[in-house]
A and B are shown apart, each in its own frame.
Chain A
Amino acid sequence: MSYHTNIDEAKWAKVRDAFAAALGLEDDEVELGSKLISDLGAESLDFLDIVYRLERAFDIKIPRGGIEGSAQEEVGGTYEVDGILTDDGLMALKQLMPEVPSDEFHDGMRVTEVPELFRVATFYNLVCHLIDKADQAKKVSEDAG
Protein backbone atom coordinates (compact mmCIF):
# COMPACT_ATOMS: atom_id res chain seq x y z
CA MET A 1 0.00 0.00 0.00
CA SER A 2 2.30 2.73 -1.30
CA TYR A 3 -0.32 5.13 -2.60
CA HIS A 4 1.40 7.96 -0.71
CA THR A 5 4.24 8.02 -3.24
CA ASN A 6 1.85 9.14 -5.97
CA ILE A 7 -0.70 11.43 -4.39
CA ASP A 8 -4.23 11.86 -5.72
CA GLU A 9 -4.87 15.50 -4.78
CA ALA A 10 -8.65 15.15 -4.47
CA LYS A 11 -8.34 12.21 -2.08
CA TRP A 12 -5.54 13.87 -0.15
CA ALA A 13 -7.62 17.01 0.38
CA LYS A 14 -10.41 14.93 1.92
CA VAL A 15 -7.99 13.01 4.13
CA ARG A 16 -6.35 16.24 5.29
CA ASP A 17 -9.76 17.78 6.06
CA ALA A 18 -10.77 14.74 8.09
CA PHE A 19 -7.61 14.91 10.20
CA ALA A 20 -7.85 18.66 10.66
CA ALA A 21 -11.47 18.44 11.81
CA ALA A 22 -10.90 15.48 14.11
CA LEU A 23 -7.85 16.96 15.79
CA GLY A 24 -8.76 20.64 15.75
CA LEU A 25 -5.90 21.58 13.43
CA GLU A 26 -5.47 23.91 10.49
CA ASP A 27 -5.25 22.09 7.15
CA ASP A 28 -1.64 23.13 6.63
CA GLU A 29 -0.64 21.51 9.90
CA VAL A 30 -1.53 18.09 8.54
CA GLU A 31 1.23 16.50 6.45
CA LEU A 32 1.50 13.02 5.04
CA GLY A 33 4.54 12.31 7.18
CA SER A 34 3.00 13.61 10.44
CA LYS A 35 2.98 11.00 13.18
CA LEU A 36 -0.46 10.91 14.75
CA ILE A 37 0.54 10.64 18.39
CA SER A 38 3.88 12.40 18.75
CA ASP A 39 3.45 15.09 16.07
CA LEU A 40 -0.28 15.75 16.08
CA GLY A 41 -1.05 14.88 19.71
CA ALA A 42 -3.78 12.37 18.85
CA GLU A 43 -5.22 10.04 21.50
CA SER A 44 -6.80 6.67 20.83
CA LEU A 45 -10.31 8.15 20.92
CA ASP A 46 -9.22 10.65 18.29
CA PHE A 47 -8.51 7.66 16.04
CA LEU A 48 -12.22 6.81 16.21
CA ASP A 49 -13.14 10.29 15.13
CA ILE A 50 -10.63 10.16 12.27
CA VAL A 51 -11.99 6.82 11.10
CA TYR A 52 -15.56 8.08 11.23
CA ARG A 53 -14.75 11.21 9.24
CA LEU A 54 -12.83 9.21 6.63
CA GLU A 55 -15.68 6.73 6.29
CA ARG A 56 -18.13 9.57 5.70
CA ALA A 57 -15.86 11.46 3.33
CA PHE A 58 -15.20 8.46 1.09
CA ASP A 59 -18.35 6.40 1.71
CA ILE A 60 -16.26 3.43 2.75
CA LYS A 61 -16.18 1.13 5.74
CA ILE A 62 -12.87 0.89 7.54
CA PRO A 63 -12.71 -2.50 9.28
CA ARG A 64 -12.29 -2.34 13.02
CA GLY A 65 -8.64 -2.91 13.80
CA GLY A 66 -7.65 -1.32 10.48
CA ILE A 67 -3.96 -1.83 9.79
CA GLU A 68 -3.32 -4.14 12.72
CA GLY A 69 -6.32 -6.28 11.85
CA SER A 70 -5.03 -6.65 8.31
CA ALA A 71 -1.55 -7.51 9.59
CA GLN A 72 -2.97 -10.26 11.78
CA GLU A 73 -4.83 -11.70 8.81
CA GLU A 74 -1.72 -11.51 6.61
CA VAL A 75 0.47 -13.33 9.10
CA GLY A 76 -1.40 -16.58 8.97
CA GLY A 77 0.73 -17.77 11.88
CA THR A 78 1.29 -15.96 15.14
CA TYR A 79 1.11 -12.16 15.18
CA GLU A 80 2.10 -11.61 18.78
CA VAL A 81 3.02 -13.51 21.92
CA ASP A 82 2.26 -11.99 25.32
CA GLY A 83 1.86 -8.59 23.71
CA ILE A 84 5.20 -8.76 21.87
CA LEU A 85 5.17 -8.80 18.07
CA THR A 86 6.61 -11.94 16.49
CA ASP A 87 9.04 -11.79 13.55
CA ASP A 88 6.11 -12.64 11.27
CA GLY A 89 4.04 -9.89 12.85
CA LEU A 90 6.80 -7.34 12.35
CA MET A 91 7.25 -8.42 8.74
CA ALA A 92 3.52 -8.11 8.02
CA LEU A 93 3.41 -4.62 9.53
CA LYS A 94 6.44 -3.52 7.53
CA GLN A 95 4.74 -4.63 4.33
CA LEU A 96 1.46 -2.98 5.23
CA MET A 97 3.09 0.29 6.35
CA PRO A 98 5.77 1.14 3.77
CA GLU A 99 5.48 4.79 4.79
CA VAL A 100 7.13 3.95 8.13
CA PRO A 101 10.96 3.82 8.03
CA SER A 102 12.01 0.22 8.63
CA ASP A 103 14.32 1.20 11.50
CA GLU A 104 11.24 2.14 13.55
CA PHE A 105 10.29 -1.53 13.73
CA HIS A 106 12.41 -3.30 16.30
CA ASP A 107 12.74 -6.66 17.96
CA GLY A 108 10.70 -6.93 21.13
CA MET A 109 8.24 -4.30 19.92
CA ARG A 110 5.01 -4.32 21.89
CA VAL A 111 1.60 -4.39 20.21
CA THR A 112 0.72 -1.27 22.18
CA GLU A 113 3.58 0.60 20.50
CA VAL A 114 2.20 0.06 16.99
CA PRO A 115 -0.14 3.12 16.98
CA GLU A 116 2.91 5.30 17.70
CA LEU A 117 4.13 4.41 14.20
CA PHE A 118 0.98 5.61 12.44
CA ARG A 119 1.38 8.51 10.06
CA VAL A 120 -1.28 10.45 8.20
CA ALA A 121 0.06 8.54 5.18
CA THR A 122 -0.90 5.28 6.91
CA PHE A 123 -4.55 6.30 6.75
CA TYR A 124 -4.21 7.80 3.28
CA ASN A 125 -2.89 4.46 2.03
CA LEU A 126 -5.61 2.53 3.84
CA VAL A 127 -8.35 4.70 2.34
CA CYS A 128 -6.95 4.40 -1.19
CA HIS A 129 -6.61 0.64 -0.77
CA LEU A 130 -10.23 0.28 0.37
CA ILE A 131 -11.48 2.45 -2.49
CA ASP A 132 -9.54 0.35 -5.01
CA LYS A 133 -10.82 -2.84 -3.41
CA ALA A 134 -14.42 -1.62 -3.63
CA ASP A 135 -13.93 -0.57 -7.26
CA GLN A 136 -12.50 -3.98 -8.15
CA ALA A 137 -15.37 -5.76 -6.42
CA LYS A 138 -17.84 -3.60 -8.30
CA LYS A 139 -16.15 -4.36 -11.61
CA VAL A 140 -16.15 -8.10 -10.92
CA SER A 141 -19.81 -7.89 -10.04
CA GLU A 142 -20.62 -5.95 -13.21
CA ASP A 143 -18.61 -8.37 -15.36
CA ALA A 144 -20.39 -11.31 -13.79
CA GLY A 145 -23.77 -9.64 -14.30
Chain B
Amino acid sequence: MPDSPKTGPLVAERRFCFVVHALSRVHRGIMGVPSLRAGLVGQWRDGTEAADVLPVCTLRLKGVAVGHVVGVPMVPEDLLGDQQRAVDRMVQAVALAGDVAAVGLGSLCAVVGGRGEALADRLDVPVTNGGAATAWALLDNVRVVLAETGTRRVAVVGSTSPVGRVVVQSLVADGFAVSVDHPRGGRGLDVEVCDGPAAAVSGCRVVVGAGPTGGVVPGACLAPHTVVIDVAIPGTFYAPLPPSVVVLAGEAVGYPVGWERGMWGWLYHVLSGYGPSQVFACLIEPLVLATSGRERPFSIGRSLSVENVEAFGRGAAALGFKPRLAKGWFAVPRTKLLLP
Protein backbone atom coordinates (compact mmCIF):
# COMPACT_ATOMS: atom_id res chain seq x y z
CA MET B 1 0.00 0.00 0.00
CA PRO B 2 1.48 3.41 -0.89
CA ASP B 3 2.11 5.95 1.83
CA SER B 4 -0.76 8.24 2.56
CA PRO B 5 -0.09 11.88 1.73
CA LYS B 6 -2.08 12.79 4.81
CA THR B 7 -0.09 13.97 7.77
CA GLY B 8 -2.94 14.30 10.23
CA PRO B 9 -4.24 11.47 12.36
CA LEU B 10 -6.16 8.77 10.51
CA VAL B 11 -8.04 7.68 13.60
CA ALA B 12 -8.03 8.98 17.14
CA GLU B 13 -5.22 7.91 19.43
CA ARG B 14 -3.03 5.75 17.26
CA ARG B 15 -0.70 3.64 19.39
CA PHE B 16 3.05 3.70 19.18
CA CYS B 17 5.89 2.20 21.15
CA PHE B 18 9.18 3.82 22.11
CA VAL B 19 11.93 1.52 23.33
CA VAL B 20 14.48 2.91 25.76
CA HIS B 21 17.34 1.51 27.82
CA ALA B 22 18.93 2.32 31.16
CA LEU B 23 21.50 5.08 30.90
CA SER B 24 23.30 3.94 34.06
CA ARG B 25 22.93 1.54 36.98
CA VAL B 26 21.16 4.22 39.02
CA HIS B 27 18.85 4.91 36.09
CA ARG B 28 18.17 1.17 35.83
CA GLY B 29 17.12 1.11 39.47
CA ILE B 30 14.78 4.05 39.02
CA MET B 31 13.38 2.45 35.87
CA GLY B 32 12.21 -0.46 38.02
CA VAL B 33 10.21 1.70 40.42
CA PRO B 34 6.94 2.23 38.47
CA SER B 35 6.39 -1.50 38.06
CA LEU B 36 7.81 -2.41 41.46
CA ARG B 37 10.73 -4.49 40.15
CA ALA B 38 12.58 -5.02 43.39
CA GLY B 39 15.47 -6.83 41.69
CA LEU B 40 16.23 -3.83 39.52
CA VAL B 41 15.67 -1.28 42.24
CA GLY B 42 17.84 -3.29 44.64
CA GLN B 43 20.44 -3.86 41.91
CA TRP B 44 20.58 -7.63 42.31
CA ARG B 45 19.28 -8.10 38.78
CA ASP B 46 21.31 -6.68 35.91
CA GLY B 47 18.37 -6.12 33.59
CA THR B 48 19.59 -8.42 30.84
CA GLU B 49 16.92 -11.13 31.13
CA ALA B 50 13.70 -11.24 29.13
CA ALA B 51 11.70 -10.99 32.34
CA ASP B 52 13.36 -7.65 33.10
CA VAL B 53 11.75 -5.82 30.16
CA LEU B 54 9.21 -3.46 31.67
CA PRO B 55 6.76 -0.64 31.00
CA VAL B 56 8.19 2.78 31.87
CA CYS B 57 5.40 5.26 31.25
CA THR B 58 2.61 6.24 28.91
CA LEU B 59 2.65 9.46 26.93
CA ARG B 60 -0.38 10.87 25.16
CA LEU B 61 -1.08 13.58 22.69
CA LYS B 62 -4.71 13.93 23.55
CA GLY B 63 -7.04 12.74 20.83
CA VAL B 64 -4.13 11.94 18.51
CA ALA B 65 -1.80 9.25 19.79
CA VAL B 66 -0.81 7.28 22.82
CA GLY B 67 2.76 6.12 23.28
CA HIS B 68 3.98 3.26 25.40
CA VAL B 69 7.53 3.82 26.56
CA VAL B 70 8.99 0.40 27.27
CA GLY B 71 12.30 -0.18 28.95
CA VAL B 72 15.03 -2.66 28.21
CA PRO B 73 16.80 -2.05 31.52
CA MET B 74 20.25 -2.85 30.20
CA VAL B 75 23.07 -0.37 30.76
CA PRO B 76 25.10 0.76 27.73
CA GLU B 77 27.97 -1.71 28.29
CA ASP B 78 25.51 -4.63 28.36
CA LEU B 79 23.69 -3.39 25.26
CA LEU B 80 26.91 -2.96 23.32
CA GLY B 81 28.52 -6.11 24.67
CA ASP B 82 25.89 -8.37 23.13
CA GLN B 83 23.92 -6.64 20.41
CA GLN B 84 21.99 -9.78 19.43
CA ARG B 85 20.67 -10.09 22.97
CA ALA B 86 19.81 -6.39 22.94
CA VAL B 87 17.75 -6.90 19.78
CA ASP B 88 16.00 -9.89 21.38
CA ARG B 89 15.06 -7.73 24.35
CA MET B 90 13.78 -4.97 22.08
CA VAL B 91 11.52 -7.48 20.32
CA GLN B 92 10.15 -8.44 23.74
CA ALA B 93 9.71 -4.77 24.62
CA VAL B 94 7.58 -4.15 21.54
CA ALA B 95 5.51 -7.24 22.35
CA LEU B 96 4.91 -5.82 25.82
CA ALA B 97 3.53 -2.64 24.28
CA GLY B 98 0.87 -4.65 22.45
CA ASP B 99 -0.67 -3.69 19.14
CA VAL B 100 1.12 -0.56 17.88
CA ALA B 101 1.32 1.23 14.55
CA ALA B 102 4.95 2.27 14.82
CA VAL B 103 8.05 1.63 16.89
CA GLY B 104 10.67 4.23 17.80
CA LEU B 105 14.07 3.73 19.37
CA GLY B 106 15.78 5.85 22.00
CA SER B 107 19.48 6.46 22.53
CA LEU B 108 21.64 3.36 21.93
CA CYS B 109 18.58 1.26 21.05
CA ALA B 110 18.68 3.23 17.79
CA VAL B 111 22.29 2.20 17.22
CA VAL B 112 22.58 -1.49 18.10
CA GLY B 113 21.48 -4.10 15.60
CA GLY B 114 22.33 -2.13 12.49
CA ARG B 115 20.62 1.11 13.57
CA GLY B 116 17.21 -0.55 13.89
CA GLU B 117 17.43 -2.83 10.85
CA ALA B 118 17.70 -6.07 12.84
CA LEU B 119 14.64 -5.18 14.91
CA ALA B 120 12.69 -4.15 11.81
CA ASP B 121 13.47 -7.53 10.23
CA ARG B 122 11.72 -9.25 13.12
CA LEU B 123 8.58 -7.10 13.37
CA ASP B 124 5.64 -6.49 11.10
CA VAL B 125 5.24 -2.85 12.11
CA PRO B 126 7.49 -0.05 10.87
CA VAL B 127 10.52 0.70 13.02
CA THR B 128 11.96 4.18 12.76
CA ASN B 129 15.28 5.12 14.34
CA GLY B 130 14.82 8.82 15.00
CA GLY B 131 17.20 10.12 12.35
CA ALA B 132 14.58 12.10 10.46
CA ALA B 133 13.29 13.81 13.58
CA THR B 134 16.78 14.63 14.74
CA ALA B 135 17.72 16.08 11.36
CA TRP B 136 14.47 18.09 11.21
CA ALA B 137 14.96 19.66 14.65
CA LEU B 138 18.66 20.27 14.07
CA LEU B 139 18.11 21.88 10.68
CA ASP B 140 15.35 24.12 11.97
CA ASN B 141 17.46 25.24 14.92
CA VAL B 142 20.49 25.84 12.70
CA ARG B 143 18.43 27.92 10.27
CA VAL B 144 17.15 30.06 13.14
CA VAL B 145 20.68 30.61 14.44
CA LEU B 146 21.99 31.48 10.98
CA ALA B 147 19.14 33.93 10.44
CA GLU B 148 19.48 35.54 13.86
CA THR B 149 23.25 35.90 13.58
CA GLY B 150 23.22 36.99 9.95
CA THR B 151 25.81 34.33 9.18
CA ARG B 152 26.18 32.74 5.76
CA ARG B 153 29.02 30.35 6.58
CA VAL B 154 28.54 27.23 8.66
CA ALA B 155 30.68 24.23 9.56
CA VAL B 156 29.24 20.73 9.92
CA VAL B 157 31.14 18.25 12.10
CA GLY B 158 29.98 14.65 11.83
CA SER B 159 29.11 15.27 8.20
CA THR B 160 29.44 11.58 7.28
CA SER B 161 26.61 10.50 9.59
CA PRO B 162 23.15 10.09 8.03
CA VAL B 163 21.91 13.18 9.90
CA GLY B 164 25.04 15.14 8.98
CA ARG B 165 24.71 14.30 5.33
CA VAL B 166 21.08 15.52 5.18
CA VAL B 167 21.98 18.69 7.07
CA VAL B 168 24.80 19.46 4.65
CA GLN B 169 22.59 18.79 1.62
CA SER B 170 19.85 21.04 2.97
CA LEU B 171 22.15 23.91 3.96
CA VAL B 172 23.85 23.84 0.57
CA ALA B 173 20.41 23.94 -1.08
CA ASP B 174 19.61 26.98 1.10
CA GLY B 175 22.65 28.71 -0.35
CA PHE B 176 24.91 28.69 2.70
CA ALA B 177 28.68 28.25 2.45
CA VAL B 178 29.27 24.93 4.20
CA SER B 179 32.55 23.49 5.49
CA VAL B 180 32.63 19.76 6.21
CA ASP B 181 35.06 17.63 8.19
CA HIS B 182 35.45 14.74 5.75
CA PRO B 183 35.29 14.27 1.96
CA ARG B 184 32.42 11.77 2.30
CA GLY B 185 30.29 14.39 4.01
CA GLY B 186 30.51 16.67 1.02
CA ARG B 187 30.49 14.16 -1.81
CA GLY B 188 28.83 15.60 -4.89
CA LEU B 189 28.08 18.90 -3.19
CA ASP B 190 29.54 22.37 -3.53
CA VAL B 191 31.15 22.56 -0.10
CA GLU B 192 34.54 23.26 1.41
CA VAL B 193 36.05 19.89 2.30
CA CYS B 194 38.44 20.20 5.23
CA ASP B 195 40.98 17.84 6.74
CA GLY B 196 39.16 16.99 9.96
CA PRO B 197 36.84 18.77 12.39
CA ALA B 198 39.36 21.31 13.69
CA ALA B 199 40.03 22.59 10.17
CA ALA B 200 36.31 22.64 9.33
CA VAL B 201 35.36 24.84 12.29
CA SER B 202 38.31 27.18 11.90
CA GLY B 203 36.98 30.72 11.69
CA CYS B 204 33.33 29.59 11.58
CA ARG B 205 30.98 31.35 13.97
CA VAL B 206 28.18 28.84 13.56
CA VAL B 207 29.05 25.17 13.96
CA VAL B 208 26.79 22.13 13.71
CA GLY B 209 27.58 18.96 15.64
CA ALA B 210 25.71 16.36 13.57
CA GLY B 211 27.57 13.21 14.55
CA PRO B 212 26.19 10.89 17.20
CA THR B 213 29.47 10.58 19.08
CA GLY B 214 30.42 13.22 21.60
CA GLY B 215 33.69 14.33 23.07
CA VAL B 216 35.70 13.91 19.88
CA VAL B 217 36.89 17.42 19.09
CA PRO B 218 38.85 19.77 21.39
CA GLY B 219 36.76 22.79 22.29
CA ALA B 220 39.85 24.95 22.05
CA CYS B 221 39.61 24.90 18.26
CA LEU B 222 36.38 26.93 18.38
CA ALA B 223 36.59 30.68 17.83
CA PRO B 224 35.31 32.92 20.63
CA HIS B 225 31.56 33.66 20.42
CA THR B 226 30.89 30.63 18.25
CA VAL B 227 27.37 29.23 18.44
CA VAL B 228 27.38 25.41 18.37
CA ILE B 229 24.16 23.52 17.65
CA ASP B 230 24.82 19.96 18.74
CA VAL B 231 22.99 16.63 18.74
CA ALA B 232 25.78 14.56 20.28
CA ILE B 233 25.43 13.55 23.92
CA PRO B 234 27.87 14.26 25.49
CA GLY B 235 28.69 17.23 23.31
CA THR B 236 30.86 17.04 20.20
CA PHE B 237 33.47 19.41 21.67
CA TYR B 238 35.23 18.57 24.90
CA ALA B 239 36.34 21.02 27.55
CA PRO B 240 37.74 23.54 27.83
CA LEU B 241 35.67 25.62 25.43
CA PRO B 242 36.20 29.38 25.08
CA PRO B 243 33.86 30.89 27.69
CA SER B 244 31.99 32.96 25.12
CA VAL B 245 30.98 29.90 23.09
CA VAL B 246 27.27 29.05 23.27
CA VAL B 247 26.32 25.38 22.89
CA LEU B 248 22.67 24.68 22.08
CA ALA B 249 20.78 21.39 22.10
CA GLY B 250 20.21 20.47 18.48
CA GLU B 251 17.25 18.16 18.90
CA ALA B 252 15.12 19.81 21.55
CA VAL B 253 11.47 20.05 20.59
CA GLY B 254 8.65 21.90 22.30
CA TYR B 255 5.42 19.94 22.60
CA PRO B 256 1.87 21.13 21.96
CA VAL B 257 -1.02 21.67 24.32
CA GLY B 258 -2.53 18.27 24.98
CA TRP B 259 0.77 16.50 25.70
CA GLU B 260 0.03 14.34 28.73
CA ARG B 261 2.68 12.47 30.68
CA GLY B 262 1.39 11.58 34.11
CA MET B 263 3.77 11.32 37.04
CA TRP B 264 6.01 8.59 35.59
CA GLY B 265 6.12 10.31 32.22
CA TRP B 266 7.20 13.53 33.89
CA LEU B 267 9.91 11.63 35.76
CA TYR B 268 10.98 9.94 32.52
CA HIS B 269 11.27 13.32 30.79
CA VAL B 270 13.48 14.63 33.56
CA LEU B 271 15.68 11.54 33.97
CA SER B 272 16.20 11.16 30.26
CA GLY B 273 17.60 14.66 30.06
CA TYR B 274 14.70 16.35 28.26
CA GLY B 275 13.77 18.47 31.23
CA PRO B 276 10.15 19.17 32.06
CA SER B 277 9.35 21.45 29.11
CA GLN B 278 10.63 19.70 26.02
CA VAL B 279 11.33 16.34 24.40
CA PHE B 280 14.13 15.06 22.23
CA ALA B 281 13.03 14.85 18.63
CA CYS B 282 13.53 11.08 18.28
CA LEU B 283 10.70 10.43 20.75
CA ILE B 284 8.09 11.91 18.42
CA GLU B 285 9.24 10.14 15.26
CA PRO B 286 7.13 7.02 15.92
CA LEU B 287 4.23 9.23 17.03
CA VAL B 288 4.27 11.09 13.72
CA LEU B 289 4.75 7.82 11.84
CA ALA B 290 1.82 6.17 13.63
CA THR B 291 -0.48 9.08 12.86
CA SER B 292 0.65 9.65 9.30
CA GLY B 293 -0.60 6.43 7.75
CA ARG B 294 2.83 5.77 6.27
CA GLU B 295 3.92 2.18 6.21
CA ARG B 296 7.58 2.94 5.62
CA PRO B 297 9.78 4.42 8.35
CA PHE B 298 11.18 7.92 8.08
CA SER B 299 14.64 6.57 8.87
CA ILE B 300 16.14 3.11 9.33
CA GLY B 301 19.72 1.85 9.16
CA ARG B 302 21.73 4.53 7.39
CA SER B 303 18.80 5.33 5.14
CA LEU B 304 17.79 8.95 5.57
CA SER B 305 16.75 11.35 2.82
CA VAL B 306 15.98 15.05 2.65
CA GLU B 307 12.50 14.12 1.38
CA ASN B 308 11.77 11.95 4.42
CA VAL B 309 13.06 14.60 6.79
CA GLU B 310 10.76 17.15 5.17
CA ALA B 311 7.82 14.72 5.26
CA PHE B 312 8.45 14.11 8.93
CA GLY B 313 8.70 17.84 9.59
CA ARG B 314 5.34 18.51 7.94
CA GLY B 315 3.75 15.80 10.06
CA ALA B 316 5.32 17.01 13.31
CA ALA B 317 4.42 20.64 12.65
CA ALA B 318 0.83 19.68 11.81
CA LEU B 319 0.57 18.08 15.25
CA GLY B 320 1.96 21.18 16.96
CA PHE B 321 5.53 20.13 17.68
CA LYS B 322 8.16 22.79 17.15
CA PRO B 323 11.97 22.69 17.37
CA ARG B 324 13.21 24.69 20.31
CA LEU B 325 16.45 26.58 20.79
CA ALA B 326 17.54 25.30 24.15
CA LYS B 327 20.50 25.07 26.43
CA GLY B 328 20.04 22.13 28.74
CA TRP B 329 16.45 22.16 29.90
CA PHE B 330 15.79 25.78 29.14
CA ALA B 331 14.83 27.79 26.07
CA VAL B 332 17.41 30.30 24.84
CA PRO B 333 16.17 33.77 23.86
CA ARG B 334 17.16 34.67 20.33
CA THR B 335 18.78 37.87 21.57
CA LYS B 336 21.43 35.67 23.22
CA LEU B 337 22.57 34.62 19.76
CA LEU B 338 23.67 38.02 18.53
CA LEU B 339 27.32 37.83 17.58
CA PRO B 340 29.56 40.71 18.67
Contact = CB atoms under 8 A, between A and B. Distances in A.
B158 A43 contact: yes
A134 interface: no
Contacts, number: 51
Nearest to A25: B184
B114 A43 contact: no
Interface in A34-54: 40-45, 48-49, 51-53
A21 B84 CA distance: 18
A44 B162 CA distance: 14
A24 interface: yes
Interface in B160-203: 160-162, 182-185
Contacts of B185: 41
A64 B83 contact: no
A123 to B, nearest CB: 15
B77 interface: yes
Interface in A10-58: 21-24, 40-45, 48-49, 51-53, 55-56
A53 B114 contact: yes
| Range of interface residues on A (Cβ < 8 Å) | 10 to 19
Interface residues of B, number: 26
A53 B160 CA distance: 19
Contact of A24 (B81, B82, B162, B182): B162
B184 A49 contact: no
A47 to B, nearest CB: 10
B80 A64 contact: yes
Nearest to A40: B184
Contacts of B184: 40-41
A64 B82 CA distance: 8
Nearest to B211: A43
B112 interface: yes
Given A24-B302, A41-B185, A55 B83 contact: yes
A64 B81 contact: yes
B59 to A, nearest CB: 26
B212 interface: yes
Interface of B: 77, 80-84, 111-115, 118, 158, 160-162, 182-185, 211-213, 216, 301-302
Interface of A: 21-24, 40-45, 48-49, 51-53, 55-56, 61, 64
Given A21-B302, A41-B183, A53-B114, 7 more contacts: A21-B114, A45-B212, A45-B213, A48-B111, A55-B83, A61-B82, A64-B81
